[in-house]
A and B are shown apart, each in its own frame.
Chain A
């Protein structure tokens, strides 16, 4: 290969700002991609690949009631044949009290056998094994329990009716890699103590787990199948560690998916930036290229030289990107804090560096192929005709285009890890660019013919229609950049609006669950005022219109699943925050229902998930008794906030006799809540309380953290976007300078020149940002309604602000890029113009 070093050096030197832009764009995209992918690999490594550590066994059997005899027998018989070992655990939330009952804390209690766990690690501060430390009558607690109750090792705690001695402190628990997803700190108790707690029988929501360790882990799938056959459908879940969904995994899957989307957007923007700056470099050099060709340089020679130049810039950018990615990853602890699972490191592995290099090559290739291809279309004749503007665009060579989009699709699919969404992504992008460029052409055409009132405006409009028509590519670039940024912003706003609603002042802030029928009076007495008690009946949905609910399929849903246990209630009236949106009253036309079918009112959110309509039939299993119900109304809630709601409401007559507990929502001044909880639990140990104010706080903090993370990643997109803005406007600066000089020579004063420049940039920005707003709103709406399943708010003021900001920014950049000429005598600039 022939390398012409001087040629290359000159090119790099004269490329100036554009070379820098190119390098930064490469660096930005590589940095976000590598940092994120590295983090993703780490999270996967510790959560997904180490599934057994996370789940505690090869197979996990899970139920909200005692394991059925049939399933237990099946397990026992496999155990006897030495296929597996088993152990039980129980897990539930309850409020524990300090010994003198002066303070309380909602905690996650886990009762374990002495061999717990089969897999994974639990480290105690004493260095002992959990089984050694946990003797009957003692508990092992998380540090948070000691801190919040102000106790120390050796002190006593009260759980249910029983006092326990605190024996040790948990430093690390691989089954619980993050703490932010749970409502209270961990307390381990010994299985032998469980019975005396007196909590299990009385409707407490206990998770029963059977952990299995296989002698041949490879048999996991088969044994799961065998055991599933003996399990009670919908009630008992038998899963391998690898396939078990956990909140932790779901959370990280979603977070990583969202961050991947942002990183892809950064990649797109950087790509546009790369393409733009390379085009600008080639555009500046057009005459030189034409001359070089006229002197006999072959296309191949030029292509080789520019290819080497691009590779050089790409390599340099990738290196910076890898370094930056490394730095970002080092920043993760600061950024993510306790969002990062314990045990996930911040190291940057050789694999990450390698990926950075491969990605660098791919990214640079994808985004430079087209501008480089156009190099071949520069004709020597350009020296003789003083054509301005870019080379007449030939229809982008089809093969090059196809290769680029193919590469791009692969990149996107790999990054988002979802073929369908990846393809939608790329298609959306192509559609965006095509639509924008068509609309841009149409608008420019109209503008050229529009009767504009002043000379400055006319002049601004005409300069948009300069030969070579760089305006269209500026508009496409600006529109893409602005819409991408706006999409991210709108998504963030909508997610947050849905998930952190400021909690209303007077709303109930203490929920009490599992109040027994015979405890109603005592409860009223403890609380001290008349409180509303909602009956709660636990049940499972069996079928909708005789279509059975498939629990396996249901668990795949990102929204609420229909296979879980539901809380039914009965009452005659609507609540204050409910309205009827389907039907006329809660139980309209009950008398017309066939015998054995009862009336049912359904909440709109679950109706949407299950595609349930008025008059649909639904079959429930209420603790062994099946009932058939017909939907007589659909309700909606007027305020979406953290307030108890019931999907399914029946007539009192239907459910009054069913086994039930009561639920109560109380409003108290915040500072009184802890004492009230202590009082309730001291008198009614089986009642679970939820300090909603506290939960809302925790949730708010989590969301703030996430917001920081998202903003951090989005800031790379913003950087790329601004870079594009600046570089595209600077790239076409020469055209504007030329015109400005001519206006001045012909006697225009600075007001006129400023006015033309302002109008020109305002038109560009106005057009681009309006297009961008439309695209962003549509895209964000699509994503919110299809991917996240949340209500979409267009936030028009943000859109308006975007338009205003873009206009101001573009005008500012445009004016600064041509400010020098306004106050100076034009002779110097005149000399630089080749003339037309």
Chain B
């Protein structure tokens, strides 16, 4: 079998607030195989976001190590992480986090432009057509609805054809209709682009569709295994 695309060994994360030390992640080990769709489930405040940021290199674990595509990124500085964030992984956030000064088109193109991809415009146009937002290509984030924003965010995460996409409660800010659409889109695109998807959610509806569900509880991760 090929190497796992993501591996974490004994990671923990704690925050110190004043005298108190809150342990959010406690000795977590896990790995993801290429192409799979895994869900991290857990109640609000259970540490899902924290775990995703640590796994993706947006944050450092207090202890333990993280490998992305066989590289140990735990102690990488920001400049070494930059190309990984640009090409190897993609992010979709609950709060969208689109660049407010850019239009949808420009937001989607941005990672490709950073990567000096000559086909950036073409790829972005295709994606915009694909998600049905061609008409809104010149709208800035403030001129888009929540569902539209999240679709733009998904395109942006995928434009450099990453091997791994992190999605942190991508439907958390959306109504049920839009949620369904966004999940459908994510899954379809995951198939089309053949990427690995790690999605955090507290919704069982989404977990039901995952290849594999990891549940986070009291800072520990329980692997519920693959679904048959």
Chain A interface residues (CB < 8 Å from chain B): 385-388, 455, 462-463, 465-467, 735, 738-739, 742-752, 822-828, 830-831, 833-836
- A388-B100, A467-B101 known; A747 and B59 CB under 8 Å? no
**Which of A462, A748, A830, A836 is close to B106, meaning CB atoms less than 8 Å apart?**
A462
Please indicate the chain A residues that have their CB under 8 angstroms from the CB of B53 in the complex: 825, 827, 830
Please indicate the chain B residues that have their CB under 8 angstroms from the CB of A827 in the complex: 53, 58-59
Chain B CB within 10 Å, residue with most, of A455, A745, A831: A745
- A467-B142, A830-B58 known; A824 and B87 CB under 8 Å? no
B4 proximal to A (CB < 8 A): no
B132 proximal to A (CB < 8 A): no
- A462-B102, A462-B106, A826-B58 known; A749 and B97 CB under 8 Å? no
**Which of A455, A467, A739, A823 is close to B114, meaning CB atoms less than 8 Å apart?**
A455
- A455-B113, A746-B114, A749-B79 known; A834 and B91 CB under 8 Å? no
B60 proximal to A (CB < 8 A): yes
A209 vs B160: C-alpha distance in the bound complex, in angstroms? Answer: 95
Please indicate the chain B residues that have their CB under 8 angstroms from the CB of A463 in the complex: 101
Question: For residues 35 through 70 of chain B, which have their beta carbon under 8 Å from a beta carbon of chain A?
Answer: 49, 53, 57-60
Q: Say yes or no: B83 contacts A835, CB within 8 Å.
A: no
Having A455-B113, A823-B77, A824-B78, one finds 7 other A-B pairs with CB under 8 Å, namely: A455-B114, A739-B99, A745-B85, A745-B91, A750-B82, A833-B95, A836-B149
Q: Tally the A-B contacts, defined by beta carbons under 8 Å.
A: 102
**Which of A739, A749, A835 is close to B82, meaning CB atoms less than 8 Å apart?**
A749
Q: Say yes or no: A836 contacts B113, CB within 8 Å.
A: no
Question: For residues 120 through 152 of chain B, which have their beta carbon under 8 Å from a beta carbon of chain A?
Answer: 140-142, 149
How far is the CB of A302 from the nearest CB of chain B, in Å?
24
Q: List 24 A-B contacts (CB under 8 A).
A: A386-B142, A388-B100, A455-B114, A462-B106, A739-B99, A739-B101, A742-B99, A744-B78, A745-B85, A746-B156, A747-B86, A750-B78, A823-B78, A825-B59, A827-B53, A827-B59, A828-B59, A830-B58, A830-B93, A831-B49, A834-B95, A835-B94, A835-B97, A836-B141
How far is the CB of B103 from the nearest CB of chain A, in Å?
9
Closest residue of chain B to A462 (Cβ to Cβ) is B101
Chain B interface residues (CB < 8 Å from chain A): 49, 53, 57-60, 77-79, 82-87, 91, 93-102, 106, 110-111, 113-115, 140-142, 149, 156, 160, 173
Q: Say yes or no: B110 contacts A825, CB within 8 Å.
A: no
Closest residue of chain A to B76 (Cβ to Cβ) is A825
Please indicate the chain A residues that have their CB under 8 angstroms from the CB of B95 in the complex: 833-836
**Which of B49, B60, B96, B111 is close to A836, meaning CB atoms less than 8 Å apart?**
B96
A830 vs B166: C-alpha distance in the bound complex, in angstroms? Answer: 15
A833 vs B100: C-alpha distance in the bound complex, in angstroms? Answer: 12
A656 vs B142: C-alpha distance in the bound complex, in angstroms? Answer: 90
A-B pairs with lowest CB-CB distance, top 6: A747-B86, A835-B95, A827-B59, A749-B82, A747-B85, A827-B53
Please indicate the chain B residues that have their CB under 8 angstroms from the CB of A738 in the complex: 100
How far is the CB of A835 from the nearest CB of chain B, in Å?
3
Q: Say yes or no: A465 contacts B101, CB within 8 Å.
A: yes
A462 vs B107: C-alpha distance in the bound complex, in angstroms? Answer: 12
Q: Say yes or no: B149 contacts A746, CB within 8 Å.
A: no
How far is the CB of A465 from the nearest CB of chain B, in Å?
6
Please indicate the chain A residues that have their CB under 8 angstroms from the CB of B58 in the complex: 745, 825-827, 830
- A462-B102, A467-B101 known; A746 and B110 CB under 8 Å? yes
A386 vs B110: C-alpha distance in the bound complex, in angstroms? Answer: 22
Please indicate the chain B residues that have their CB under 8 angstroms from the CB of A462 in the complex: 101-102, 106
Closest residue of chain A to B77 (Cβ to Cβ) is A823
**Which of B59, B82, B100, B102 is close to A744, meaning CB atoms less than 8 Å apart?**
B82
Q: Say yes or no: B111 contacts A749, CB within 8 Å.
A: no
Please indicate the chain A residues that have their CB under 8 angstroms from the CB of B49 in the complex: 831
How far is the CB of B140 from the nearest CB of chain A, in Å?
6
Closest residue of chain A to B159 (Cβ to Cβ) is A746
Q: Say yes or no: B142 contacts A388, CB within 8 Å.
A: yes
Please indicate the chain B residues that have their CB under 8 angstroms from the CB of A833 in the complex: 95, 97
Please indicate the chain A residues that have their CB under 8 angstroms from the CB of B156 in the complex: 746
Q: Say yes or no: A836 contacts B85, CB within 8 Å.
A: no
How far is the CB of B15 from the nearest CB of chain A, in Å?
10
Q: Say yes or no: A744 contacts B85, CB within 8 Å.
A: yes
Please indicate the chain A residues that have their CB under 8 angstroms from the CB of B86 in the complex: 746-748
Q: Say yes or no: B60 contacts A825, CB within 8 Å.
A: yes
Please indicate the chain A residues that have their CB under 8 angstroms from the CB of B115 in the complex: 747
How far is the CB of A449 from the nearest CB of chain B, in Å?
13
Chain A CB within 10 Å, residue with most, of B49, B93, B110: B110
A836 vs B149: C-alpha distance in the bound complex, in angstroms? Answer: 8
Closest residue of chain A to B52 (Cβ to Cβ) is A827
Please indicate the chain A residues that have their CB under 8 angstroms from the CB of B140 in the complex: 467
